[in-house]
């Protein structure tokens, strides 16, 4: 199985969850978008404001109707030890929380003492709330009808708003026949796995993630015994990234009393993982890829080989034009003479692009070189399957089944974890709705999940232990989560959610197009993680890290070798191979 940009100016991005505003700009409730997680915007100089979207009717939380709660924070003084937030209400009914903080926030802070954020919010239907009540201040005239209606978000989109134009990136989906060919290509592997996994093999029933969490506990217990200590109340310390966040959160949920220092980086939504729901994971994928255009433009022609024109839009257009040569659906429909080459080229290009936003810092320069090389091949009418596969090999290295560091197939774990009979072991094709969701979510790499679940859908393994408990809990030690602002596969919103599910947990928000902090060269986040592992220091208000090194400015020289006059991406080979072979994370 094989598979796997920018809106030039970020002028009119209506997304709810853009990276939060830094710098001088001040916001107020007329410009702060609603969001189902708290996102604080600098407001009125010394305050921070947010607009939280909650169900309009708490008794019917999923009917799509939402209420927007305006919230203001008078932040605790940064020099004091941070204690948390204190919500306030000024009285009434009818008293507004926002002006209350403007008027009395300092005084409240004086009597609550240092370390507390003082929070005010307008009650339902009042002040800057939406929807607003009918009559407002004594009712004459009635409040404008525009303000009286709730926000409506279709239930399946409540979590993430995905931009329909994919940031201007135009990449054709693979043809429907591709999904059929996936089944065929995987049939043999699938039958083998099913036959052996269900027959004599004694590992497969025990390869779900809860088993891995159990093993971590056994390791720590054995270590305690080795050191002559009781293993009853042993604490496990842990750093896990990506799927490692599935392991980490499964552990914290199963064994909260054994949680020691836990850093969980680039967080999967655990509930979605066990339900095989994936649409939400792709929230920032195209957004991250689209920054290639601005990064390349900012870098200039010296540093970015794919540079062109006078705006980043010109680079985006050049990118779209190049990708149009690999539109297999069109090639088939229009009877192009090069269908075989286009098919191979589309696969290679998609596999590379799948991996590019995993680290803008490491991958953007190499991606620019790849695009330039491929464009020259197309122009020379020489983008043959053979030449394109060679380009792919520059990213993955040659296939080497004896490589001891090769990743293993993920399906015994992934498919067994998924507790969704429609998606796993159903013997039915993947639901069309699933395919539509991944296509709608990301043109650059949504299809990765079709690859995974095409295999799962016909695989009937019989795991003995599937996780079905409640996620999170009251852990012995507070957990530290990390989210990157434009992560292509685990949106930072997942880290925010995980934080709320774990008592006392904190989250670090890192500005980066990437997945995981390793390789990001972001000393800010490394300092914070170190402080946590050293002294259990948790970030409070200072939980944001700006971008570290800038793509194209930092060139990963050490990893960049020349081979046959071509640039070779020699780092992370196994990662690239794992992604392109399995769509894994
Ligand atoms: C806060 O800022 C908004 C927008 O700049 C302004 O309209 C409002 O009057 C300010 N309120 C106070 C109390 O400063
Ligand atoms: C509260 O205000 C009084 C009077 O200005 C001041 O002396 C005191 O230090 C303040 N206390 C705190 C905790 O800010
Ligand atoms: C408010 O909602 C109602 C019912 O959905 C709709 O008929 C009406 O047009 C809406 N009004 C405005 C101003 O959007
Ligand atoms: C395939 O053929 C079409 C039509 O002749 C051409 O426009 C396109 O550039 C070719 N694609 C590749 C990858 O060479
Ligand atoms: C096409 O690519 C092959 C393999 O790299 C090369 O040997 C050949 O010279 C190229 N043909 C043209 C016309 O550039
Ligand atoms: C996908 O997007 C199309 C076009 O915007 C829309 O009509 C369709 O309802 C979407 N499908 C899903 C499952 O989101």
Closest ligand (CA of 391): 5
Question: How many whole angstroms separate alpha carbon 406 and alpha carbon 233?
Answer: 36
Smallest-distance ligand from the CA of 389: 5
Instruction: Give me the number of domains the chain comprises.
Output: 2
Rounded to whole angstroms, the Cα distance separating 552 from 554 reads 5
Q: How far is the CA of 279 from the centre of ligand 6 (A)?
A: 12
pLDDT < 50 positions in the chain = 1-22, 558-572, 583, 585
Do the domain assignments include residue 144?
yes
Pocket lining: 77 vs ligand 2, CB cutoff 6 Å: no
CB-based contact 489:285 (threshold 8 Å): yes
Cα–Cα–Cα angle for 26, 29, 34, rounded to 5 degrees: 110
Q: Can you read off the two tokens belonging to residue 547?
A: 């971008």
Ligand 5 pocket member 564 (CB < 6 A): no
CA 270/CA 252 separation, integer angstroms: 11
Q: Residue 22's CB: how many other CB atoms inside 10 A?
A: 10
Whether residue 35 lies inside any domain: the answer is no
Residues 122 and 214 in one domain: no
Neighbouring C-beta atoms of residue 380, cutoff 10 Å: 9
Q: Is the domain of 364 the same as that of 225?
A: yes
Indicate if ligand 2 lies below 6 Å from the C-beta of 107.
no
CA dihedral 570, 576, 577, 582 (to 10 degrees): 180
The ligand placed nearest to the CA atom of residue 379 is 4
Q: Write the CA distances from 441 to 249, 281, 346, 461, 466, integer angstroms.
A: 25, 9, 19, 29, 28
* 254 and 352 share one domain: yes
Helices marked H in 48-160: 97-112
At 305 the three-state DSSP class reads coil
Distance (Å) from CA 488 to ligand 6 centroid: 20
Ligand 2 center to 80 CA (angstroms): 14
In a domain, 407, yes or no: yes
Contact 312, 297 (CB under 8 A): yes
User: Is the Cβ atom of 382 under 6 angstroms away from ligand 5?
Assistant: yes
Residue 58 included in any domain: yes
Ligand 2, atom 12: nearest CA belongs to which residue?
A: 110
Percentage of residues of the chain with pLDDT beyond 90: 52
d(CA 462, CA 204): 8
Half-sphere exposure of 462 (CA within 13 A, CB side): 8
Q: How far is CA 408 from CA 145, 246, 585, in A?
A: 59, 17, 13
Residue 22 CA to ligand 1 center (angstroms) comes to 18
Tokens of 449: 């999940």
pLDDT at 396: 80
Quick: pLDDT tens for 244-302.
999 999 999 999 999 999 999 999 999 999 998 887 799 999 999 999 999 999 999 99
Of 98, 123, 157, which residue is a domain's last?
157
Interatomic CA distance for residues 292 and 287, integer angstroms:
9
β-sheet bridge partners, residue 116:
84
Distances (CA, A) of 447 to 2, 182, 185, 452: 11, 11, 16, 9
- Tell me how far the alpha carbon of residue 82 lies from the centroid of ligand 2, in angstroms: 18
CA 145 to ligand 3 center in whole angstroms = 8
pLDDT at 183: 80
Q: Of the residues 157, 185, 215, which one is the last residue of a structural domain?
A: 157
Using CA atoms, how far apart are residues 228 and 207, in angstroms rounded to an integer?
31
Q: Is residue 519 part of a domain?
A: yes
Q: Are residues 208 and 114 in the same domain?
A: no
The verdict on the CB of residue 113 being under 6 Å from ligand 2 is yes
Which ligand has the shortest distance to the CA of 108? Answer: 2
For residue 149, which atom of ligand 3 is closest to its CA? Answer: 1
Domain end point (choices 133, 157, 181): 157
| Residues 121, 245 within the same domain | no
The answer to whether the beta carbons of residues 105 and 90 sit under 8 Å apart is no
Locus of tokens 């934080």: 499
* CA nearest ligand 6 atom 11, residue: 436
Q: In what order do the strands lie in the sheet with 236-241?
A: 236-241, 259-265, 480-486, 506-513, 544-545
Same domain, 142 and 278: no
The alpha carbon of 373 and the centre of ligand 4 are apart by a number of angstroms equal to 15
DSSP 428: S
Residue with tokens 């570290």: 548
Q: Which residues line ligand 4 (CB under 6 A)?
A: 325-326, 336, 338, 341-342, 345, 378, 383
Strands 236-241 and 259-265: parallel
Mapping DSSP onto H, E and C, the string for 48-68 reads EEEEEEEECCCCCCCCCEEEE
Regarding the beta carbon of 320 and ligand 1, being less than 6 Å apart is answered: no
Phi, psi at residue 294, to the nearest 5°?
A: -70, -40
120-129 burial: b if 16+ Cβ within 10 Å, else e? bbbbbbbbbb
Q: What is the pLDDT of residues 188-247, one digit of tens each?
A: 888 888 888 887 778 888 899 999 999 999 999 989 988 889 999 999 999 998 999 999
Residue 357 CA to residue 18 CA, distance in Å, equals: 17
Kindly state if the Cβ of 433 falls inside 6 Å of ligand 6.
Answer: yes
Do 233 and 374 belong to one domain? yes
Name the residue of 83, 110, 112, 113 whose CB sits within 8 Å of the most ligand 2 atoms, as the mutation to test its pocket: 110
Is 28 among the domain residues? no
Write down the pTM of the prediction.
0.70
The alpha carbon of 68 and the centre of ligand 1 are apart by a number of angstroms equal to 19
Cα–Cα–Cα angle for 538, 541, 542, rounded to 5 degrees:
75
Angle at alpha carbon of residue 248, lines to 243 and 254, rounded to 5°? 130
> Is 418 contained in some domain?
yes
| 44 touches ligand 1 (CB under 6 Å) | yes
- Ligand 1 centroid to Cα of residue 102, in Å, is 9
Q: What is the CATH number of the domain that holds 489?
A: 3.40.50
Report residues whose beta carbon is within 6 angstroms of any ligand 3 atom. Answer: 145-146, 149
Establish if 12 belongs to a structural domain. Answer: no
473 and 346 within one domain: yes
How remote is the CA of residue 437 from the centroid of ligand 1, in Å?
A: 41
Examine the domain organization and report whether 207 and 321 are in the same domain. Answer: yes
Residues 414 and 293 placed together within one structural domain of the fold: yes
Both 206 and 147 in a single domain?
Answer: no
In the reported structure, the alpha carbon of residue 316 is separated from the centroid of ligand 5 by a whole-number distance in angstroms of 28
Q: Quick one: which of 350, 445, 397, 441 has its CA closest to 160? A: 441
Structural domain of residue 120, as residue ranges? 41-157
> What is the whole-number distance in angstroms between the Cα of residue 120 and the centre of ligand 5?
68
Specify whether 93 is located in the same domain as 234: no
Protein residue whose Cα sits closest to atom 14 of ligand 1? 44
């Amino acid at each position: 199985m094989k598979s796997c940009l920018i809106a030039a100016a970020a002028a009119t991005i209506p997304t709810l969850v853009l990276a939060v505003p830094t710098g001088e700009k001040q916001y107020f409730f007329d410009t702060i978008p609603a969001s189902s997680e708290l996102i604080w915007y600098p407001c009125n100089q010394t305050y921070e404001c947010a607009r939280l979207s909650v169900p309009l009717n708490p008794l019917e939380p999923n009917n799509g109707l939402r209420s927007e709660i305006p919230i203001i924070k008078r932040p605790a003084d940064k020099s004091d030890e941070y204690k948390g937030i204190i919500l306030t209400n000024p009285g009434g009914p009818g008293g507004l929380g926002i002006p209350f903080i403007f008027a009395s926030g300092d005084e409240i802070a004086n009597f609550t003492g240092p370390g507390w954020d003082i929070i005010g919010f307008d009650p339902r239907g009042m002040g800057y709330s939406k929807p607003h009540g009918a009559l407002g201040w004594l009712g004459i005239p009635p409040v404008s009808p525009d303000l009286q209606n709730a926000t409506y978000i279709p239930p399946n989109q409540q979590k993430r708003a995905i931009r329909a134009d994919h940031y201007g990136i135009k990449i054709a989906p693979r043809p429907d026949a591709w999904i059929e060919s996936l089944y065929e290509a995987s049939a043999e592997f699938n039958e083998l796995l099913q036959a052996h996994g269900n027959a004599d093999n004694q590992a497969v029933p025990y390869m779900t993630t809860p088993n891995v969490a159990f093993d971590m506990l056994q390791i720590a217990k054995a270590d305690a015994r080795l050191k002559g200590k009781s293993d009853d109340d042993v604490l496990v310390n842990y750093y896990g990234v990506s799927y490692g966040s599935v392991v980490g959160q499964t552990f914290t949920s199963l064994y909260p009393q054994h949680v020691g220092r836990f850093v969980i980086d680039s967080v999967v939504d655990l509930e979605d993982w066990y339900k095989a729901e994936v649409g939400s994971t792709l929230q920032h994928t195209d957004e991250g890829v689209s920054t290639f255009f601005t990064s390349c433009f900012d870098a200039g022609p010296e540093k970015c080989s794919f540079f062109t024109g006078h705006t980043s839009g010109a680079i985006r257009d050049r990118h779209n034009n190049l990708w149009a040569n690999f539109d297999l659906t069109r090639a088939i429909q229009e009877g192009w003479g090069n269908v075989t080459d286009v098919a191979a080229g589309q696969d290679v290009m998609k596999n590379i692009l799948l991996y590019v936003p995993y680290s803008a810092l490491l991958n953007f320069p190499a991606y620019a070189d790849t695009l330039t090389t491929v464009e020259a091949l197309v122009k020379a009418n020489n983008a043959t399957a053979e030449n394109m596969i060679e380009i792919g090999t520059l990213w993955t290295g040659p296939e080497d089944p004896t490589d001891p560091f090769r990743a293993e197939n993920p399906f015994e774990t992934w498919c067994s974890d998924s507790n969704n009979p429609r998606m796993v072991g159903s013997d039915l094709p993947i639901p069309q709705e699933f395919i539509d969701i991944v296509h709608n979510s990301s043109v650059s790499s949504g299809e990765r999940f079709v690859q995974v679940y095409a295999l799962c859908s016909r695989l009937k393994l019989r795991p003995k232990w599937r996780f079905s408990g409640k996620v999170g809990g009251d852990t012995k030690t507070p957990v530290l989560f990390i989210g990157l602002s434009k992560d292509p596969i685990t949106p930072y919103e997942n880290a925010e959610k995980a934080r709320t599910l774990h008592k006392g947990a904190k989250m670090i928000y890192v500005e980066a197009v990437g997945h995981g902090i390793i390789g990001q060269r972001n000393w800010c986040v490394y300092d914070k993680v170190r402080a946590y592992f050293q002294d259990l220091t948790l970030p409070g208000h200072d939980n944001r890290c700006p971008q570290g090194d800038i793509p194209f400015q930092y060139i990963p020289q050490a990893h960049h070798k020349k081979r046959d006059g071509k640039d070779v991406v020699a780092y992370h080979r196994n990662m690239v191979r794992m992604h392109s072979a399995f769509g894994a994370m």
